Amino acid sequence: NRRKSSLRYSSANRCESYVSERVLLFFNVSRYLILEGDVLYAYENINASNLIWKISLSHCGISRGTSNCDIVLTPKTEKQHILQIPSELFARWWNALHSSSSVRLENYYELGPILGEGAYSQVRYGRDKISKQVVAVKIMHKKSKSVKQQKLNECLYVLQQREVELMRSFEHENIVKVIDVFEGMKRVYIVMEFVAGGSLFEFLTNRQNQHLEQHVVHIIRQILSAVHYLHEKGVVHRDLKLENIMCTSKAWPTDVKVADFGLAGLLTDDEDSVMTSLVGTPYYMAPELLRGDKYDESVDMWALGVIVFSLLTGAFPFKGKNPAQILKSIESCDSVRLPESVLSSISAESESLVRSLLQKDPKKRLSASAALNHPWLTQDPSKLQRSISRDLKPDLLQIASLLSGYETNGSFGEFSPQTKFKATVQSLIAIHRMRDLVVLERKRKLRRLFFSAMAANKLVTIQKHQ
C-alpha cells in the first residue's frame, strides 16, 4: 500500500474502523471502512489490500436503520448498503458521514479562468477562500462528452482514480503536489499547487528566452530526479513530454515539476492489460510502443531523450514530411546525433547522454539512476557557461502542435491533424500486430500439420503390425 499525503479540507472528517455490513437478510460480513473527504471506502480488512466497494457521499441518502446502531446508505446509482456500527463509535460515524456528504469544492475554493483544457478534463485557476493561496484545479469529467460507450466511461473512471491515488502518494519537490481532492456525481476535482511559469513547451516558445548550458543541465537533473523517484516506487509515467513539465518561473533560470499522471501505470499491474497498452503522446513514444511490444520504465527514458534533444537544439530528433514518415523515422531509429552547429557551442558530453537515452533497444537505454550520474550532469556548473539561444523553430512548432494535440479543426466532417496522426499510429501498430498474428497462425498451422502427420504415421504403423 502507498502512504497517502493528508488533504487540506476534504479529509477533515476522516474516520476509519471495522463495521459489519448486511449482505443477506440474516448474514453480516466484516468490513474495514475508511472515510476520506466525501468518499467512503469499504475494504476486506485493515490492511486495505482488497477494495470491496466505494461510494461518493454527495447526493447519497444517509438514514437510520431498524436497529439502534444501523446506518443505511442509499446512493443514487448504486445498491443500498446497511452498516452495523459498534455502539461506542456510532455517534462519531453518524456525524462524520453527514458532514462529509456536504463537503463541496465551492465551500473552500473559488474558481477562476481556464488555464488549459483536454478531451476529458480542464485545469482552472483557483484560490483558497481562507488562506488566499493560489491553486490549480483539475476538473475531470466522469463520463466522456463525445463518446457514450459504457466501456470508455469505465476506463476513464479507472484512469481518474489511478491518477488521484498516485498523485496523493507522491512527495517530491519536482512533482506537482496535490492539496485536496473532491468527488461529485459527475466530476472529480484535484486541487494542486499552482506552478506559475507554465509548461516547458510554452517556456521554450518564448522568443526572448536565451539560456546557459548549465540551465538546461539543471532542468534535466530535476526531471531525472522526479523520474528516478517514480521508478523507485514502481511507477511509469508513460506520458513525459514538454507539455507535462511545469516551470516555476517564466524566465531562466527556472525549476521544474513533473505533472499529469493520467496515464501513469504501475509495474506491478497486470502485465497484459497495463504494460502492453498503447498510451502516451505519439511523438514521444519509444519504438517498442509503436511496435506494440511489452515495455517497462525505459519508455520514460526515451521520452526524456526527446526532451533533452529539444532543449539543446530547439528541434525534435525525428523528421518527416507527414505523420507516417515521422513514425517510420522513430521506429527505424538506429543512432541519434546532435547537429554539428549545436555541438560546436556546447559540451560534447551532452550528445553522449542524448544517444544513451534514445537507444532503440530498451535494454541499452540508461536508467534514471545511471543518467543522474552521467558525466555531463555531474560536472562543475562553472564549466557550463556557454549560451544556448535556440527556441523551437517555427516549422517545428507546427509539428509540435500537430503531434501534441494543440491544433483542432472546428469544421464538421473533417478530421483534425491530431486525429489523423493518432489514426496513423494505430494503423502502424495494427499492421505490426497483424503481421505477428499471421506468423503465429502459420506456426500453429504447421504444428497441427506436424501432429496430424505423426498421428497418421502412427496409425499406419499399427495397421501394418496387425
* CATH code of the domain covering residue 117: 3.30.200.20
Do 29 and 115 reside in the same domain of the chain? no
260 labeled binding residue = yes
**Three-state SS across the chain?**
CCCCCCCCCCCCCCEEEEEEEEEECCEEEEEEEEEECCEEEEECCCCCCCEEEEEECCCCEEEECCCCCEEEEECCCCCCEEEECCHHHHHHHHHHHHHHHCCCHHHHEEEEEEEEECCCEEEEEEEECCCCCEEEEEEEECCCCCCCCHHHHHHHHHHHHHHHHHHHHCCCCCECCEEEEEECCCEEEEEEECCCCCEHHHHHCCCCCCEEHHHHHHHHHHHHHHHHHHHHCCEECCCCCHHHEEECCCCCCCCEEECCCCCCEECCCCCCCCCCCCCCCHHHCCHHHHCCCCCCCHHHHHHHHHHHHHHHHCCCCCCCCCHHHHHHHHHCCCCCCCCHHHHCCCCCHHHHHHHHHCCCCHHHCCCHHHHHCCHHHHCCHHHCCCEECCCCCHHHHHHHHHHHCCCCCCCCCCCCHHHHHHHHHHHHHHHHHHHHHHHHHHHHHHHHHHHHHHHHHHHHHHHHHC
Do 314 and 257 reside in the same domain of the chain? yes
Do 70 and 164 reside in the same domain of the chain? no
Last residue of a domain, one of 193, 210, 226: 193
183 labeled binding residue = no
Per-residue pLDDT of the chain (466 residues; tens, 9 = 90+): 445 567 788 776 778 999 999 988 778 999 999 887 778 889 998 887 788 998 888 778 999 988 889 999 998 777 899 999 999 999 999 999 988 887 788 889 999 999 988 767 889 999 999 999 999 999 987 765 554 555 555 555 566 666 677 777 788 999 999 898 887 667 888 899 999 998 988 888 775 556 778 889 999 999 999 999 999 988 888 889 998 999 999 888 899 999 987 655 554 444 443 344 445 567 888 998 888 888 899 999 999 999 999 888 888 888 777 777 778 888 888 788 888 878 777 888 899 999 999 999 999 999 999 999 999 999 887 777 666 655 555 444 555 554 544 333 322 233 344 444 444 444 444 445 545 544 555 556 556 665 565 555 554 444 544 4
Active site residue 239: yes
Do 32 and 168 reside in the same domain of the chain? no
Residue 393 inside a domain? The answer is yes
Residue 446 inside a domain? The answer is no
Given this model, what pLDDT does residue 269 score?
Answer: 46
Do 262 and 132 reside in the same domain of the chain? no
Given this model, what pLDDT does residue 270 score?
Answer: 45
Which residues, listed in sequence order, are joined to residue 121 by a DSSP beta bridge? 140
Question: The whole model's pTM is what?
Answer: 0.72
- Residue range(s) defining the domain that contains residue 207: 200-404
Given this model, what pLDDT does residue 156 score?
Answer: 56
CB 302 within 8 A of CB 233: no
50 labeled binding residue = no
Q: Identify the CATH number of the domain in which residue 56 sits.
A: 2.30.29.30
Given this model, what pLDDT does residue 460 score?
Answer: 47
Residue 456 inside a domain? The answer is no
Residue 305 inside a domain? The answer is yes
Do 274 and 370 reside in the same domain of the chain? yes
Do 377 and 396 reside in the same domain of the chain? yes
Do 111 and 69 reside in the same domain of the chain? no
Do 231 and 318 reside in the same domain of the chain? yes
241 labeled binding residue = no
CB 323 within 8 A of CB 424: yes
Given this model, what pLDDT does residue 158 score?
Answer: 61
Check 180, 239, 300, 391 and give the catalytic one.
239
Last residue of a domain, one of 147, 177, 193: 193
Last residue of a domain, one of 160, 193, 226: 193
Do 65 and 111 reside in the same domain of the chain? no
Residue 142 inside a domain? The answer is yes
Residue 447 inside a domain? The answer is no
Do 165 and 270 reside in the same domain of the chain? no
C-alpha to C-alpha distance for 42 and 144, rounded to whole angstroms: 27
Do 57 and 136 reside in the same domain of the chain? no
C-alpha to C-alpha distance for 429 and 291, rounded to whole angstroms: 6
Residue 437 inside a domain? The answer is no
Residue 261 inside a domain? The answer is yes
Given this model, what pLDDT does residue 91 score?
Answer: 93
C-alpha to C-alpha distance for 323 and 329, rounded to whole angstroms: 10
Given this model, what pLDDT does residue 273 score?
Answer: 36
Q: How many domains does the chain have?
A: 3
Given this model, what pLDDT does residue 368 score?
Answer: 96
